[in-house]
Amino acid sequence: MLGFVIATYRDLSFPFGLVIITTATVHILYSRNKNNEAAYWAAYVVGLEILLRMTGGFLVYEAGKYSVVFLLVVGLLVERTPRPQPLPILLYGFLLLPSFAVVDFPDFLHFRKDVSFNLSGPLSLLISTFYFYKRFQNIDSFVSILRVMALPLVSVIVYLMLVTPDLSEIEYGTQSNFKASAGFGPNQISIIMGLGILIAGLALYYGKTVTGFFVSDLLFLVLLIIRGLATFSRGGMIGGVASLGILFLLSFLFTNKVISWPKALAYGLGGFMVVLVSWNYVNEISENRLQYRYQGINYRTGQAKEITSGRLLILEHELNLFYENPVMGIGPGMVREIALRGNFVANTHSEYSRTLAEHGLFGVAALLILVIFPIRYVLGQNKDLYPIRFAILFLVFFTMFHSAMRLAMPGFLYGLIFFLPSVSPRPKA
């Protein structure tokens, strides 16, 4: 219904966003976050962010990340209970501050936009980690948070189906397809569809549901894959499917006492068939151009082209900036500013190279903490949790590699893996 209403009355998107944030705040304050309300509302905003962003539902572009930060901070404040502190992540945040001394923006407006664009993601990651670090909750609660995050994606799919041409009527090339993503960034649509693929697959694998029924969950999964593939943006699809593969593989390796070979084979073949059928459908209606896109082939000439679609040039540019400014970097937000001044590709696509370029050696230390800290934490926990945690962590790290932290999703999911469960998750026999 939400997807239908916003597709029909787009002007309702902004007031709906205000109602959600207001209702969430009141609910958290009234309940004093006794039942983890802040986490549920923040998860809902993570899933809803792309729909509101693409329909003008936010006052500022980064409002999704700011809303997540705000709701989690409110939850922490009203609890009034001491919590363990993830000191390495606090250090990560401090390491991003020294480079402010070297920023060189022409005016405050440029400073505000570019710094917000690049540091709102790390801020959401830091606050999410502080909120979830060693927070006790059972596995049903954990899966429910993921479910709440996935439900707005149903609205996104409905919206896309209503406002875009029929997929069979779209003219496909071998570039990202804006027509299939309603004129919005195909990369971001693909990422959020990839998130839905992981959550839907995880729910099915562990005997739970997103929509309430197995059949509708299966349909949801198929639609996520089809709409994601139709964007012709590869990162989100590769991340979603690969993270599901990691979930499946690690589940078999570390919880094999309850997973029989027949069940493992059934789930593996079932997942493969869903992906294969969806792939063949989109590839057929695009006249094999989907295959060319993933192979990095120009469909007109049949010749291989630069398979990263310019991202390698951006990566090299940012690494060169790091080599030229190895100590302090060039300052937060300055990658985009320098790119604009030099008529180069403007926006970064990798959180890793951006951090190096903008923060120098402080960025190197920050990245080491960012990667090592969660891996060490997960390895020190129950092995039954390896499949879920490493699947989510892979999706986070991979998303940050090809699309930086443009969405609230990677920062929120990064923090989410630090919870402490009271019951270990095991798929139903």
* Nearest residue to 228 via CA among 268, 269, 281: 281
User: 193 or 344: which carries more pLDDT confidence?
Assistant: 193
Instruction: Please give the pLDDT value at position 151.
Output: 94
pLDDT of residue 429 exceeding 50: no
- Tokens of residue 378, six digits: 């997960």
Q: pLDDT, tens digit, for every residue of 268-311?
A: 788 788 889 999 999 999 988 999 888 888 766 666 665 666 67
What length does the chain have?
429
Name the least confident of 52-66, 152-166, 214-228, 340-354.
340-354
Is 277 a domain residue?
A: no
Q: How far apart are CA 189 and CA 149, in angstroms?
A: 15
Quick one: which of 355, 353, 360 has its CA closest to 324? 360
Residue 149 lies in a domain: no
> What average pLDDT score do residues 249-277 get?
74
334 is a domain residue: no
Q: Is residue 37 assigned to a domain?
A: yes
Mean pLDDT of the chain: 87
pLDDT of the residue at 333: 79
Residue written as token pair 């590709």 = 345
Q: What domain range is 3 assigned to?
A: 1-82
Note whether 356 and 319 are within 8 A (CB): yes
25 within some domain: yes
The total of structural domains in the chain comes to 1
Question: Is residue 338 in some structural domain?
Answer: no
Q: What percentage of the chain has pLDDT greater than the value 70?
A: 88
Integer CA distances (angstroms), 199 to 202, 250, 403, in order: 5, 16, 20
Residue 47 inside a domain? The answer is: yes
Q: Is 318 left (phi over 0), alpha (psi -120 to 50) or beta?
A: alpha
Higher pLDDT: 257 or 92? It is: 92
* Statement: residue 343 has pLDDT above 90: no
Say if 139 falls within a structural domain. no
pLDDT band, residue 202 (cuts 50/70/90): confident
Answer whether 0.95 is exceeded by the pTM. Answer: no
Q: Decide if pLDDT at 89 tops 70.
A: yes
